[in-house]
A and B are shown apart, each in its own frame.
Chain A
Amino acid sequence: MRPAISPRTSTRSPLADVLSGWPPPVFDPAGPAAGSIATLGWVLLAMAAVVTAVVLFFVYVALWGRPGTREKLGGTKIIWLAGIAFPVVVLTFLLIYGLTLTRSLTAPITGNEMRVRVVGEMWWWRVAYLDPQGRAVILDANELHIPVGRPVVLELSSNDVIHSFWVPRLSGKLDMIPGRRNLMRIQADRPGVYGGQCAEYCGGPHALMGFAVIAHTPENFARWRTQRLGLKAAAVSSDQAAVSSGEANRGRQLFRSAGCAACHRIGGTDANGLAGPDLTHVASRRTLGAGILPNNRGTLIGWIGNSQAIKPGNRMPPYSVLSGDELTALAVYLETLK
């Protein structure tokens, strides 16, 4: 099957391409957890480099060294010193470092943090923001909005197979396992968009199961939250606004008649399907198809028409019965759902 999206031809030189990937996300932390792991990573890398160099040196001496030097190397003393004593000392320090860091990264959850439930689905992410009583107050998909400078606790679980939640610039990964609930604390220090991807092989299009964490300044986050919390009113109004445009109105009716509502929910309307991602604010998302396409009218049309060509194996059937006009109308309608 030919992919519908062709590889982008880069106008940059290959060197620039590599350099643009530097530093790699794991070493470009944007939160305290990823930050301390990056430090550990540098220490470990340095250790690995030094030891490799030392071993290469010994190999060189063993093969090409002067007879006297080789003779000194050719006994059990070197095994005791370089093969046992040295590793034991180094490893003891590293182990203590690793354990201490593990301890601080898994410090008990206080319970005062903002909580978000993230559920892995084949092959997208169901997101629910919880109030202090643990009720879901905002529903969303494939994007996670957080305030900077504040720890947020994620309740990770799965409805089908094992997935794994990973945003390299914010934290290490934690599995989402059916029948279990894993807690993870993330925190971003700077506003920005941090990409993530499912890290546990979950069949079919596992490769195309991305998401994004969007960190806002506290003020922006508060604004965002207020807007979403007033969701019914907002959604209704946005839905009402759609009436004003004839094409959007047609799309809204198509959404109902083509059966989209069987799987998708749009807050404030009678579209209540829970099998697929919540579309209440689909137009405000940065991407489509769980982090794989930019979100615009063209990609919306392409996705609805035949998402199987873009992300083979995903659970959404192709809607080839719809005409080009009908797909456009649907897309125009969805674009109104800010």
Chain B
Amino acid sequence: MRTWAYLLGGLVVWTVHFFGLYIFGSVFPQTTLARILSGLLTLAALAADAILLWRAGTASMAQAGREELGRWTDYLAALSAAISLIAVFWQGLPVLIA
């Protein structure tokens, strides 16, 4: 389970962020409160992704003496954090301009 959580960490962050935004937008429609909450959640999610990316990225760079599956897991975890970072950033744009 831990391996999966690590592997999919970035995407899980995206999921939490997306549905959080959806809930804020639905429970407090057309309000500034929704915007503020969404903005804060976006910052938190971006931070989480950045940490994940940094940790998994550095781990996958450190090659010496690592076995294949472990390195592969680090690499995939870094990729999923990276794509999540982009998606969360886009997801946060409506908070600023919509």
Contacts and interface: CB of A to CB of B under 8 A. Distances in A.
Direct contact of A and B (CB under 8 A): yes
A88 B93 contact: no
A91 B91 CA distance: 12
Interface in B83-98: 86, 90, 93-94, 97-98
Contacts of A96: 93, 97
Interface string A83-113: 0000010011001100110110000000000
**B interface bracket (residues with beta carbon within 8 Å of A):** under 10
B94 to A, nearest CB: 6
Interface residues of A, number: 9
Contacts of A102: 98
B4 to A, nearest CB: 24
Contacts of A91: 90
B24 to A, nearest CB: 17
A93 to B, nearest CB: 11
A141 to B, nearest CB: 33
A99 B86 contact: no
A96 B94 CA distance: 8
B44 to A, nearest CB: 21
Contacts of B98: 99, 102-103
B93 A95 contact: yes
B25 to A, nearest CB: 14
Instruction: Count chain A CB atoms within 10 A of each CB in B86, B93, B97, B98 and give the residue with the most.
Output: B97
B97 A92 contact: no
A102 B94 CA distance: 10
Contacts of A103: 97-98
A183 to B, nearest CB: 13
- CB-CB nearest 10 A-B residue pairs: A99-B97, A99-B98, A100-B97, A103-B98, A99-B94, A95-B90, A88-B86, A99-B93, A95-B93, A103-B97
Interface of A: 88, 91-92, 95-96, 99-100, 102-103
Given A99-B93, A99-B97, A103-B98, 12 more contacts: A88-B86, A91-B90, A92-B90, A95-B90, A95-B93, A96-B93, A96-B97, A99-B94, A99-B98, A100-B97, A102-B98, A103-B97
15 contacts: A88-B86, A91-B90, A92-B90, A95-B90, A95-B93, A96-B93, A96-B97, A99-B93, A99-B94, A99-B97, A99-B98, A100-B97, A102-B98, A103-B97, A103-B98
